[in-house]
Amino acid sequence: MPVPMETTITFRHVLDAAAFAARAHQGQLRKDKQTPYVSHVFRVCLILRDLFGFNDPRMLCAALLHDTVEDTTTDFDDLAERYSAEVAHWVALLTKDKRLPEADREAAYLRGLQAAPWQVKACKLADVYDNLLDMTGLPPERQPHTLQRARHYLDGLSEAPSPELKRPLELAWQLWRERSIEPEA
């Protein structure tokens, strides 16, 4: 379903992106080693739409596709041809450069997110939110890392946020605080 440059991204593209993501992530599992990985990108899309309140099909496509370049054989050109250069660019901004050492990769990724359009930041906040929701399925020794990583992104995305990110940031911080409370012994 190639997209000519002048074509507007529609809900049909969102449905296609869901199928594309399912095929691209086929066989991959979440860190619990049981849940199909594609459930994460579906959940990120639903959080973006139903919890954060964004219905822009470009954003929903980016949410569904946000891990395809990083975690599959999909590349920028595949997404640009199928969904638009804008959607592909947003996915690229949500993609870490795995060629870099981890500390450099995370620093470069956060700098890119901070400079990104608010729509990309909203997708990342939905991603963080889902990872926080999902962390209870992780072994206890992995949970502090998830909390630390979420805090890193939330701190970075909280600097000079656009008005559109007020609610997503509030919701993500609220969930982070809930997950950070130590269970009573």
Residue numbers annotated as active site:
70-71
Letter for the amino acid at 19?
A: A
Going by C-alpha positions, the residue among 170, 152, 30 that lies closest to residue 178 is: 170
The Cβ-side half-sphere exposure at 73, using a 13 Å CA radius, reads 2
Q: How far apart are CA 127 and CA 121, in angstroms?
A: 10
- At residue 36, the 3 state secondary structure works out as strand
Environment class of residue 55 by beta-carbon count within 10 Å: exposed (0-12), middle (13-18) or buried (19+)?
A: exposed
Q: Are 96 and 109 in contact (CB under 8 A)?
A: yes
* DSSP code per residue over 31-56: TTSSSBTHHHHHHHHHIIIIIS----
C-alpha to C-alpha distance for 152 and 168, rounded to whole angstroms: 16
Structure tokens at 29: 């599992």
